[in-house]
Structures are given as structure tokens and as C-alpha cells.
Structure 1
Amino acid sequence: MSVTASMRRGNILSGGAFTAALLSLSAFMVVLLALGVILYAVLSGAMERDVDEQLIEETELFRQIYDRYGQQALVDAIGQLETPAVAGRRMAGLFDAGGRRLAGNLDTLPLSEGWMTLEFDQLLPRPNGLYRLHASGIASPDVTATLVVGYNIRVLQQAEWRLLYALMLAGVAVTAASVVAGYAVSRRMFSKLETMSGTLEAVSRGDTAARIPVSRLDDQIDRIAQRINAHIERLAVLSDITRNTINTIAHDLRLPLGRAFLEVQQATSEMADDARARGRMENVLAELESVNGTFDAIMRISRIRASGGQAGLSTVSVPDVLAEMQETFAPLLEDAGQRLICKPEASRGLTVLGDEPMLRQALANLVQNASRHCPAGTTVTLDAMKEEDGAMVLRVCDDGLGIPADRRYDVLLPFHRVESEKPVPGTGLGLALVSAIAVRHDASLVLSDNRPGLAVSIRFPPRSKINIL
């Protein structure tokens, strides 16, 4: 069984519906137990009273026979209980004053008179079992005797056991039905919640067209889903308005900025004699180029977040991408007094499903960001690995100053920049662009402590779990 399947079953079993079913089952079992005790006590008492009443009636009948017809008539009447048809169910015995058996299928006189319950295994003619007995004296002017009558109550015990067995079967059946029903309902609710979670995750990744399916049952989850869909609809409208506004502003500003850039560039080329004016115009040209790059980055992030599905994705060779990064940036870092460690051959055979230009852009941004914010002598490491669950991880690590743990989330936000001792050029969009690329690939972007320095990891899920928007 896979870990995912175990977690899924664990979530179902801990669901509200299954918990409610278990609580209802517990209450039912308590009621069933109390009802069983009451029924057992009532039934047992009622059957014992019936037996006692029958024994009293038989004792009175035998007394009347003795009083009217004498001892021999009583002996003959008791003798009828010795027949095989009767001997297994009923018992009687007549004993003289010395304890000698005069008649009946009971060969031994009980030690006391009154009510008793005894187990027999040597009765005549073998009506053995558990008996309810009543012994009483019979006195007359001529003779004194003891009359014992009994009834086999094994049948009563069997009836009591059958009642307990029936209650037990009812409890088992109700338990099984409750567990199955609770699991089925909890599984259905968990499936809905899982779908709801997947939809919200898709919305958080930029797919504002995603909606939670609503069934015809119109239960509580369906009504919540309808309300969430309404909020997503409003959020989609606001998001579209915001995105269109940003894109429009960026697009409209790029044109005049582009024209201004060209004009300044032309003016700079014509100022061959005025070095001071030429220097200022070159500064203006650099600023315009920076603004133009900012708008390019904004529009690139917007396009990445708006893209979805697996269109444009293919199997990318990780060693090839690392080799290209090494060839491009190793000389640049060397010029800055830094060193890039990258061993593409160590990741031979590793692939990832993605957009290769985007992946190259993400790694380039991370390597440039590490070089830009680290001093001379820093070592930047670029590598890749495959985890046990099949996830692919691309990492860019440095041994520089790093970023405090409480600031690592902020640097992923657009236009946010880490304060440093020396001014560092840039727009604050590099890591935001990497974050957008990670989201596009359903990957997670993790910033951690490299001790010293910063480690940035892009973790791609296993192929079987990829859910590209």
C-alpha cells in the first residue's frame, strides 16, 4: 500500500461523517447493552416465575392425590414421570421419613426443603441436567414423607443464551452497517473536500476559470461550494481587471519609453563634442533601459501566470540545461572573483517535464541573483537530484551572507529587494519571476539556510502527481 493511499484512508477515517457514525454507534451500543441487560433480567425472571408456579401447582396436585387416594395412588402418579417421554424434562421423587426412595426418577433426597437449583448427572432413568426443585413434607396420621418436584431449566438457559446471541448478532450487524455507512459517507465528503481543495489550489496558482463541481444532492458541502464559486467568480473578475490594467499600462508605457530610448540614443550619438552632456544622456539611457526591462519582466510574469495546461511542456534533459548554465555563467562569475560549481555529468539521465526556456530563465535568474548579492570569493553551486519519491530538485546554493529566515518569503514578492551594505542594481523581480515559473510547473520554490549562505530549491513533483494548470 502506498503512503498516499494510507494518508487518504487515514483522512477518510478521521472525517466528520465517520466520526459521527462512530459516536452514534457508541451511543447505540450503550443503549443496546442496557436494553439487553433489562431484557435478559425480565425474560429470565419471567421464565423462572413460570417454572416456580408450575412446580407449586404440581406439588399441590400431588398433595391432593395423596390426601384423597393415599400413598399408593401418589406412587403411581409419580411413576408416570419415569417414562422416557417425560423423564428428560420433569422430575419427581417421594421419600419416606428415613430418606428411602418410594417413587420417581430422583434417587437421592435433597439435604433441605424449599427451593433450590441443582445439577444432576445420575438421575433415573438418566434425565440429567440443571433442575429447579421444590421439596416439601407430606404428613398424615399414618406416615410422614417428603415430596420433591423439579423442572429441567436447561431449556430456559438456552432461551436466555439465544436472546444474548440475537442481541450480539444485532450489535455486530449494526456495527458493520454503521462503519460501512460512515466510511461511505466520509469517503464521499472527503472526495468533495479534496476536489474543493484542488480547485482552490488551482485558483491560487492563477486558474481563475476553475470551479468547484456542485452535485444535485445540495448538501452542506454543495452549498458551501456554491458560495465559494461565487467568491471565485468575483475574484476572477477583479483579477482580470487588475491583470488587464497592468498589462495595458505596461504596454502603453513601453511605446513612449521605447521612442524616448531611441531619441536619447540618437541624441547621445550626436553629442560627440560635449562629454558632460553625453555622460548625462548615457545615464538617462541606462535608466530608460532599466525601466524598459522592468516592464518586460512584469509582462513576462503576467504571461507565465496566465498560461496553463501542458501545452508547450516537454521532457527536458536536466544535464543539457546545467551544461548550458555552466558554459554561460562560469566565465561571468570568474570575472567577478567568484566561482561556479556545476557538474552536469552527475545528473546524467535525469529529466523533468517542463518548458525549457522558462527553466533556463529560472536558473539564470537564481545564479545571477546569487552572484549579484554575494561578495568576491563566493562559491555558487548548481546541481540537480532525484528524491526517493521520484521528485526532481534543481538547486542553486551559495556560501555568501544568506537571507534571514523571517525575510525569505518577502523576497519572492514583486519589487521587494533585500537590503545590503552595497547598492545592488536590479528591479526586485528576479525571484518573483522564478516563483511564477515554479508555479507554472506545479513545483515548489523553497529558500533555506545553506550554512553559510542561501540555498534555493525548485522541487518538481513526481510525474504521477503532476497537475499542471
Structure 2
Amino acid sequence: MTRLTRFTRTTAFKLSLLYIAVFTVMSGVLLVYVSENTDHLMSEQVVQAVDAELKGLSDVYVRGGVRDLVQTIDSRSRHPDASLYLLTDFSGNALVGNIARLPTVVLEEADGGLRRVRYTRLGQDTEDIERQAMVRTFELRGGFRLLVGRDLGEQLHFANLLGNALRLWLVVVVVMAAITWLFVSRRVMKRIDDISATSRMIMNGDLSERLTIAGNNDEFDRLAVNLNAMLDRIELLMQSMKDVTDNIAHDLKTPLTRLQTRIEIALREAKGEEGYRGALEATLDETDQLLRIFNALLRIARIESMAPGSVMEPSDMNKLIAQVAELYEPLVEDEGGTLEIDVPPDLHADCNRDLISQVMVNLIENALKYGRPETGALRIRLGGKEDDGRVILFVSDNGPGIPEEDQARVKDRFVRLEESRSEPGTGLGLSLVKAVASLHGGDLRFKNEDPGLCAWIDLAPVKPASSGSGNAEAGTGHKEEPNRE
């Protein structure tokens, strides 16, 4: 009983019942419509034939009397497919005709009305087989009664054919429903069962499972492709969350340990106001580092939650890059390096000015930390250009660059290629750059040059400038443009 209940609740069973019901109703309506219209048409043909026979025989009777009428009926009734004729006298005796037996009430009610009667044909029904016919009966002068009719055998045969066709069609519908059920249950339901089984394995913790793709590009394949892409994304996010958790634990453990150690040393060894003051200042430095980490994480989260295009406005890239360069040029010079600008005139884009400024700042600071060459002075170049309807902003240096195998990994949170982590930093700067680039519909990319590294992002499609040309200082001579892959 349980298996039967589960069977009747399946989609395949319900679809089969639906197909049977729909096809049966449609077939019944169609056959009833055809049957009624055909019966009506054939009945009209019978009436027209009977009326034509009556008119002809009436003319014969008017011209030649009973004798000519008897001869005409006798001649017509001898044809194989002749109509029905019967002429009786005032006593009810048959004078001529091709009807052997007929209900007497038909001749008694000679009012000319159309009647459906059963009869036996003369000379052709050896076993007194009754047939059906449509007849009219009239009373002539002298007490004679004339009956004329048409056999309904063809009409009844056609009706039987329609009935047999309906029964055969119902059998075909049931067979087709069974075939449909087999197809749905064995093919379609199997795909659904596979999806359910894979989903259960994924829910049990195996995120590497994927839906099977048959390769015929049907709706199930398209669904499987989309779900697999979603599962890939979920697995990547889960792995990223694990990596972030590990990195957070690693990055926060050191400052928290140092914080705890300094507090313990201060409580144990500090003497006087100066000792406690030094311990508090060191503690404050560690808490500042922790707050910087959390603030960076919160800012990345806010950027990733923004709707693309919600904070964009037309901006002059010349002015933006010139302002960032003006801020960092003294710092680069203090480090013994040079800061160059390479921006064409009238470079505009739709962007968030604050976030793009932060991107340029992060890339410059990254170049200051890790872009120093082994020999010679540091050279940092800021620039922008148009490329295929996009605005490219880049920062390049002449340092050692980033190995190609690490260029994708370095954009993840808390990833620092300096494994010892002796240099100050949180490993979140490039993650923020990547989030801002994604918000603007682009990405953060790297290209190792000889020497140095070029990092760039691409922004929204270029919009026509609404104000004057860019800052003249931002367009100092033409420099070599960064290569892109």
C-alpha cells in the first residue's frame, strides 16, 4: 500500500492521468461533433431524396392514374439500390413495392410526416433481417396509400464506425499514456532522482559532488550546468571562508599574544609611572593594529555588499590621479625614488572617486613595500588609458614582481607572500582593490614586466566629458603603456 501511494503521488503518474483525461475529452468532443453533424447531413440527404421521389410519383399519379403509378413503382423498386416503395389499396392490400413487412401503424397514419421505422425488404432478406428506414406515407384519392422511404443502413454503419473509432482511440490514448509514463519515469524522473541524490550528498558535507550532464543540452543539462556553477562558487566561498578563518587566527594571534605578554610583563616588572606608561603605549599600538584589521574587513564587506552602479558618477581621472600623486610624491622622494604620471587628456569614467582613490593609494603603498629593485632607485609610475571602451588605471614599479603562480592567490584576504610576516601589514590591501574593481564591473590584474610589476583595474565604459579638459600637470609626456594579456 505504501509503494502504491508513493507511485500515485509521482509526477509521471499524474502526467499520465492528465494526458488520458485531456486526450479523452478532446477526442470525445471531436467525435461527437463529427457524428452529430454527419448524422444531420445524412438525414437531410435522406429527406431530400424522399421528397424528390414523392414529387416524381405524385406527378406520375396525376398524369396517368393508379396504373401508371403501379408501373413506375414496379420499375423503380427493381433496382438494387432503390428507395423503399409501397402502394396499398383501401383494404390495406399491397399492390406494388419492395417492402415485405412493416408496422401497420405506419400505413394507418398516412399524414405525410417523416418517420423512422423498422422494416424487412422484399426479396433480399432471406432471414427476415430488420432494417431501419426514414419514410413518408400519403393517402391518395380512392383510398390508396403511398409510402416512400430511404434505407438508413449507410448512416448507421457510419455511426458504428465512429463508435469503433472512439473506442480504438481511447485504447491508443491509454497506450500512449503508458508510454509517456514509462518515458517520464525512466528518463525524466531518473534525472530528477539523480539531482536529489547529488543534493543529499552535498548536504551531507561532500561539496565536491556535481550534477551529471548528459550532453544533449536539454533543460536538465542547462539546469545542471547552472547548479554546478553555483556549487563551484559555494565551494570556493567555503574554502575562502576557511582560508580567511585560518589567516585571521594567524594574524590576530600574534598581536593578541604580544598584547597579553606586554600586559603580564608590565604587571610583573614595570616600576613607576614611566614603566606603566610604556606598557600602555605598546598595548595601544597593538590594539591599533587589531582595529586596522577589523576596519579593513568591514570596509571590504561594505564594498562587496554595494549594488553596482549605485555609487557611480562621472569623474575626471586626470584630476584624481594628480591628487593621489601630489599626496605620495614627497613620500616616494623620501624613500629615494621617483613618482611619474602617465595619463592622456580628457580621460573620464563613471566611478566612485573615494574608492578609486583608495585603490590607487593601496597599489602605491604596495609598490613602496614590495616594489624596490635589488639595485638602483625605486621608480613608481601612475597612469591611465582607454582600452576597448574601458578605462584602465595602473600602477607599475621596477621591483622583483609577483610570480605568475601567485598572482591569483595574492588577491585573496590575508594572503601575504612574505611568509615570515615580519613586515607590517594585514594582507587585505589587494583584497580591497579587487572588491572595488568588481564593484565597477572590472577586475584586478597583474603583469610582470622586465623589470617590475604592473597592476591595473578596468572601470565602467567611458562617458563624454562634462567639464573642461584634465589637469595639465596630469598629462606630462607620453610614457610606455602597460601591457595587458
Query: Could you tell me the TM-score, scaled by structure 2's length?
Result: 0.44
Superposition TM-score, scaled by structure 1 size:
0.45
